[in-house]
Amino acid sequence: MNSFSKKLSLNQFVITTELNPPKGTELEPLISKALTLRNHIDAFNLTDSHSARMSMAPIAAAHKLKLNNIEPILQVACRDKNRISLQGDLLAANALGIENILCMTGDNPKAGDHPDAKGVFDIDAVSLINAATRLNSGHDLSDSKLSGSPSFCVGAVVNPSAQDLDAEIARLEQKIDSGAVFFQTQGIYDVKQFQNFMQRIKHTNAKIIAGVMILKSAKMARFFNKNLFGVSIPNQIIKELDSAKNNRQATTKITTKIIQEIKDSCHGIHIMALGWEDLIPQIISESNVKS
């Protein structure tokens, strides 16, 4: 059991962040960021062509992190591959020592930089979670027996700000029934809304790692409100960023305050830094959370 999954099993607070593999072959900047943050972060998400924008497959970056004794979480999206290829990739990841996976359906290719690409979507996130769970048990989705089985710590995503919260909770329950062990959320900005969500799912005992996104400007916040599904940033935060003389200081203060207000309601924090990863140590310290 790796340190991340062990902490989850012991109900210890975890801190994760995410890094985007490059659009090219240069992995050094990603590895350098991870090495700088390794004493603050329990595990690093490696995104799977984030926002449907083509980039290096995350399995390579995850393997490089393992070689540096850094724990990765491999994101696996259903967008680009069928169930045969997805299961094959999971077995390959296991062979490289990768144990933490985050299963998601994936963004529509039309939103990315190859809008004419065909989305595969042979299976969805619930079915992918089930596939990983079946692989763990020694069988594939066709019920064929494996010659050796992996031991994945299976994660999924959930949106506490969903307009149809009943449907979102029902899907979370499906993911738990299929074998999901932990959940990372979209960025949290409305604390009361998040706390209401946590009360609504109390019966599931789901391990929730709450997402917090570092906002670089009021312009970015407005863009996210308009274009990023599942994100709702209150006007008060946008006003704070609008009036800020130093955006880095302002967003550090905003992010820290949100973490302080939600940390006792969840099982961990997932920090989405969007290129400002150097702010993470200060945010963690001032939030008084420790991995």
Report the CATH number that the domain containing residue 48 is assigned in CATH. 3.20.20.220
User: How many domains does the chain contain in total?
Assistant: 1
Residue 291 confidence (pLDDT): 61
Residue 229 confidence (pLDDT): 73
Rounded Cα–Cα distance for residues 251 and 256 (Å): 8
Place of tokens 């140590």: 281
Q: CA separation (Å) from 278 to 82, 149, 187, 274? A: 37, 38, 19, 10
Helices (DSSP H) in 96-217: which residue ranges?
A: 125-136, 165-178, 191-200
262 by DSSP, 3-state: which? helix
Residue segments in the chain with a per-residue pLDDT below the cut of 70:
1, 230, 291
18 within domain boundaries? yes
191 within domain boundaries? yes
159 within domain boundaries? yes
291 within domain boundaries? no
Q: CA separation (Å) from 237 to 161, 192, 251? A: 16, 15, 9
290 within domain boundaries? no
134 within domain boundaries? yes
Residues 6+ apart with CB under 8 A from 243: none
Does the pTM surpass 0.85? The reply is yes
Show the domain range for 150.
3-285
| DSSP class of 74 | E
Residue 1 confidence (pLDDT): 63
Residue 228 confidence (pLDDT): 78
